[in-house]
Amino acid sequence: MTPNPQPIPGRDLVGQPVDRVDGLAKVTGTALYTAEHGLPGLTHAVLVTSTIASGRIVTIHTAQAEKMRGVLLVMTHLNAPRLAEKGQAGVVPPAGRILNLLQDGQVLYNNQPVALVVADSLEHAQDAARAVRIVYAAARAELDFNQAKAACYAPKKARDQAADSARGDDSAGWNSASCGVDVIYRTPMEHHNPMEPHATIAHWEGDQRDQRDQLTLYDSTQNVSGVRATVAMRFGLPPGNVRVICPFVGGGFGSKGSAWSHVVLAAMASRQVGRPVKPVLERSQMFGMVGYRPLTEQHLRLGAAADGRLTAMRHDVIANTSCMEDWMEPAALITRMLYRSDSQETSHRLARLNIGTPTFTRGPGITSGSFALECAMDELAYVAKLDPIAFRLRNEADRDPGNGLPWSSKALRQCYAAGAERFGWAGRDPLPRSMRDGHLLVGWGMASATYPAHRSPASARVSILPDGLALVQSGTHDLGTGTYTVMSQIAAEALGLPLAKVRFELGDTRLPVAPGAGGSQSVASVGPAVQAAALAAREKLLALAQADPESPLYSAGPEEMILEAGWLFRKSSPQRREGVAALLARHGGLSLEATRDSRSGAEREAFSMHSFGAVFAEVHVDPELGIITVPRLVGAYGVGRLMNRKTGHSQLMGGMVWGLGMALLEKTEMDPRTGRAVNANLADYHVPTNADIHAIDIIVVDENDPHINSLGAKGIGEIGAVGVAAAIGNAVFHATGKRIRDLPITLDQLI
Ligand code: MOS
């Protein structure tokens, strides 16, 4: 367990393993999640979704449902309000998506929303939703990836980079190699499955005829501002007429990074019935309209010289998208930056299927790409007869090979060393099937991990209130990640107040604007804004004290003034001190406020910024049954300055649990005839449970990044999931001698 020493209040609070400040609210049930907000006159909405993957609605019978008890509205494409923006255009990508908003009778995937039933109770709405009868004219649906990929095409971009890249001469590098691997890896569709389903409550106030009506949305989202932009555009409203509130999220993992159809549909229905409308997606409805990680086929061709130097790296990715949007899983981006090599070519291609649109899923692209790259690197290490770590060290990149920039900081070597030491890697016999524990085959594998250190503009406001409490506000999000806690730490440290005197508010578009909680960027984006606002508020407080003849700080020089643990005093005479509230009381119960915007600058052009890590896995494989267990995982990470050793370790650990799920359990099984997920529930879609998880050891190495931001913090939200599937796959090879290139690795592939 992580030790939990009591931190010194107000001093060096950042980094301390303090408990979650929202922990009590969560365990006592007073933390309200979206569906738990009660509003007067609240009505319940149930979505009716398509049962074909392609075609159109010929007839939709709603008369029976409309007559049923408690039913207020059955909204279909025949009676839905026409929107200012029909839903066929995105807003600002990536927040804005192509939505299914009942504007026509076209069906492009199974489980697509085709009607919304609103009633006075959930049961009445469910009952009536079942009574809606639909006659479809089915068209041919493309559900076979192998067929679809014959017509694959290049997307405009692979995330923020070009779809294709080429450096050096790939065929020359390949031809000059003394050894190589030329292999295909596959990853399946995966659904995020947060515990809290997607949910929205939409509530209009005011008069819609003069377009001055106000819409309030409670929404389970990773991006309140993105939801506001999407919904305002769809209704042709100024964004200021829409407020989005989301104080708690029960997991998102990327699935709640966009405003999906049900959010806009709830707002449409609420305007119709004149009451608040609440749709909560059923678990099965989360397999289609709210995104997933697309499947990939990844062709890796790696060549190395006799001494292990990479001479050629080629990584070609085909992933599926929907028939509505070009969503690219950028799986080859990792190959552009992780190792140096004489030549390097990458490509991304899309294949259209009649399935809902994919989206961000924890470590988008990098996680799926790392499985292919890091397993292929292991294969090549075996061919070259090199230790996997030695092989990687030989190809360590001292600059970003993709853009030629120096790293802002990189602790990958330290991660290899610290992880190997903790794991006991030196005791590994590299020969496959050479290590045993009783009758079980033992395998040890490792992989590198990395994730870009993003940052977006963010704002924060700090108010020092008359009672000496600081209210800190920013429209960011806490998905269970610890945002409330680490932002409180950052503010308390900068202000010189104890943690208990700081209250952090987030998840509301009325607060200063922050980016979506995605791309592992919240701390690096919002943290500096909070810090800057807190320092500015502190300056105001000290200026007040300095000008106040009754204050112990009266006419003190800046170097003499101390504000610590909520007390103001002179460095030279700490015994004469005054509390913040007493100072403010003499000034008529004043509040002091400061708002600061924060954004990156020229450093982003000068440096390449990434987190790095090394993952080690031990697997036990039953030689008769093929059953795989993972008795231990070790992850060593260089992520700049860690804000909280407890929540940070938890988040990295959670990422590694995700990686284990990807390696051994997770796969969405699409019925090839209907395009509907057949395991659309938590009994059949396997995520890791406690029984699957044994020891997970997290190491965060010391890393001082002077360039990244004022906190020195890189992101940690996604890197934990990166490399784990490869480390486990490599361990399975070491245990069994079988190289499994299709995820998940299941026992049938081993016997
Ligand atoms: Mo993350 S997949 O950007 O929520």
Task: Give 607-630 as a DSSP string.
Answer: -B-EEEEEEEEEEEE-TTT--EEE
> What is the model's pLDDT at position 93?
47
Q: pLDDT > 70: what percent of the chain?
A: 96
Contact between residue 128 and residue 119 where contact means Cβ atoms under 8 Å apart: yes
Verify whether ligand 1 is closer than 6 Å to residue 252 (CB atom): yes
> What is the model's pLDDT at position 209?
67
Angle at 715 between CA 713 and CA 721, to 5 degrees: 145
Q: In which residue are the tokens 């070790």 written? A: 634
> What is the model's pLDDT at position 11?
64
Verify whether ligand 1 is closer than 6 Å to residue 221 (CB atom): no
Which residue lies with its CA nearest to atom 4 of ligand 1? Answer: 254
- Which strands, in side-by-side order, build the sheet including 277-279? 71-76, 113-119, 43-49, 277-279, 200-205, 214-219, 242-245
> What is the model's pLDDT at position 289?
97
| pLDDT tens, residue by residue, 668-722 | 999 999 999 999 999 999 999 999 999 999 999 999 999 999 999 999 999 999 9
pLDDT band at 96 (very low <50, low <70, confident <90, very high): low
In sequence order, what are the beta bridge partners of 118?
A: 45, 73
The secondary structure element, H or E, covering residue 663 is helix 645-664
* Axis-axis angle for helices 645-664, 366-383 (nearest 10): 70
Q: Is the peptide bond before 744 cis (omega within 30 degrees of 0)?
A: yes
Verify whether ligand 1 is closer than 6 Å to residue 358 (CB atom): no
Residues 6+ apart with CB under 8 A from 597: 457, 458, 459, 529
Using the mean position of ligand 1's atoms as its centre, give its distance from the Cα of residue 681 in Å.
22
pLDDT band at 740 (very low <50, low <70, confident <90, very high): very high
Residues 6+ apart with CB under 8 A from 362: 192, 253, 254, 655, 658, 717, 718, 721
Using the mean position of ligand 1's atoms as its centre, give its distance from the Cα of residue 663 in Å.
19
Angle at 561 between CA 560 and CA 562, to 5 degrees: 120
Using the mean position of ligand 1's atoms as its centre, give its distance from the Cα of residue 99 in Å.
19
| pLDDT tens, residue by residue, 31-83 | 999 999 999 999 999 999 999 999 999 999 999 999 999 999 999 999 999 99
Which of 195, 224, 196 lies closest to 34 in space, CA to CA? 196
CA distance 258 to 325: 13
Q: Look at residue 595 and give its three-state secondary structure.
A: strand
In sequence order, what are the beta bridge partners of 55?
A: 107, 138
Residue to probe by mutation, ligand 1, list 192, 362, 454, 658, most atoms within 8 Å of CB: 362
Q: Is the peptide bond before 94 cis (omega within 30 degrees of 0)?
A: yes
Which residues are the active-site residues?
718
Backbone phi and psi for residue 167, each to the nearest 5 degrees, phi listed first: -145, 135
Residues 6+ apart with CB under 8 A from 417: none
Q: Which atom of ligand 1 is nearest to the CA of 359?
A: 2
Which of 437, 428, 445 lies closest to 622 in space, CA to CA? 437
Strand-strand pairing, 214-219 and 242-245 = parallel
Q: Which atom of ligand 1 is nearest to the CA of 517?
A: 4
Q: Which amino acid is at 193?
A: N
> What is the model's pLDDT at position 376?
98
CA distance 453 to 719: 10
Q: Is the pLDDT confidence value at 308 over 90?
A: yes
Please give the biggest Cα pair distance in the chain.
Answer: 85
Q: DSSP secondary structure string, 479-536?
A: SSSSHHHHHHHHHHHHHT--GGGEEEE-SBTTSPB---S-TT-HHHHHHHHHHHHHHH
Q: Lowest mean pLDDT: which of 136-150, 228-242, 351-365? A: 228-242
Verify whether ligand 1 is closer than 6 Å to residue 676 (CB atom): no
pTM score = 0.96
Angle at 229 between CA 508 and CA 330, to 5 degrees: 100
> What is the model's pLDDT at position 1?
34
CA distance 170 to 675: 38
Residue 399, token pair as written in the block: 């600059």
Q: Which parts of 221-356 fold into alpha helices (H)?
A: 224-235, 261-273, 333-337
> What is the model's pLDDT at position 84?
79
Using the mean position of ligand 1's atoms as its centre, give its distance from the Cα of residue 519 in Å.
5
Contact between residue 288 and residue 356 where contact means Cβ atoms under 8 Å apart: yes
* Axis-axis angle for helices 645-664, 724-736 (nearest 10): 50
Residue to probe by mutation, ligand 1, list 160, 360, 522, most atoms within 8 Å of CB: 360
Using the mean position of ligand 1's atoms as its centre, give its distance from the Cα of residue 256 in Å.
8
| pLDDT tens, residue by residue, 170-193 | 999 999 999 999 999 999 999 999
Strands (E), 643-741: 695-700
Verify whether ligand 1 is closer than 6 Å to residue 292 (CB atom): no
Q: Lowest mean pLDDT: which of 5-14, 208-217, 399-408? A: 5-14
Verify whether ligand 1 is closer than 6 Å to residue 519 (CB atom): yes
Domains along the chain with CATH numbers: 23-31+456-599 (3.30.365.10), 365-454+603-751 (3.30.365.10)
